[in-house]
Structures are given as structure tokens and as C-alpha cells.
Amino acid sequence: MNAQPSSYLFHNTNEKNGMSNSFCFSLLRDSRGLLWTGTLGGLNRYDGSHFTVFNARQDSNSFINNTIIDLCEDKQGNIFHNYLYLTLDEREHL
């Protein structure tokens, strides 16, 4: 069995293109084909043409903070996230 050459098309994106932050902890392509990124600035959903940003500043009921470090999808299509939680003492040393 020989490995077949693959070609991939990459686009670099950042805050200028609509992301909340360019430091990305996690990527998830969901069952509908949307790309989700967990960043230092919240959760970003990319539909192939633009980003929608979800973060604590927009909806205080959604996130405790904006550092989304892990993403997963269940069989029903629900997206779950894990955030970075720091104590007050830890935040003072950043």
C-alpha cells in the first residue's frame, strides 16, 4: 500500500478576518460542516465565509470566561466546551 499524495488548501485567518483571537486552543468540524475554534477570546464559528463570535462579554449566561480550551460534539449535534479556570491568585501571576 502506497501513501497517496494529498493536496490541502490553507487560509490564514486572524482578528482582522473576524476571529475573536488568533491564539487557538482547539478546532472542531461539526456534523453540519461548520468549523468551531476555541480561543483566548471566546468561541468562534466559521461557516466558510465569515466568523460568528460567542464570548462572555456578549452573553454572561454562556461563559464564565473567554478562554475555550477544548471542544467536542455529541451524537445529537450539541457542541460542548471546556474553559480555562484560574483562581484569583493564579490570575495575578499572569
Residue 28's pLDDT band, with cuts at 50, 70 and 90, is very high
The pLDDT of 9-28, averaged and rounded, is: 84
The pLDDT of 5-17, averaged and rounded, is: 75
Place of cell 480555562: 84
By the 8 A CB rule, do 64 and 85 touch? Answer: yes
Higher pLDDT, 17 or 52: 52
> Taking 90 as the threshold, does the pLDDT of residue 35 lie above it?
yes
Task: Please report the pLDDT score of residue 61 as a whole number.
Answer: 67
In the chain, where the domains are located? 20-92
What letter does residue 86 receive in the DSSP assignment? -
Could you give the C-alpha distances from 73 to 56, 58, 65, 89, in angstroms and in order? Answer: 21, 23, 20, 33
The pLDDT of 11-33, averaged and rounded, is: 87
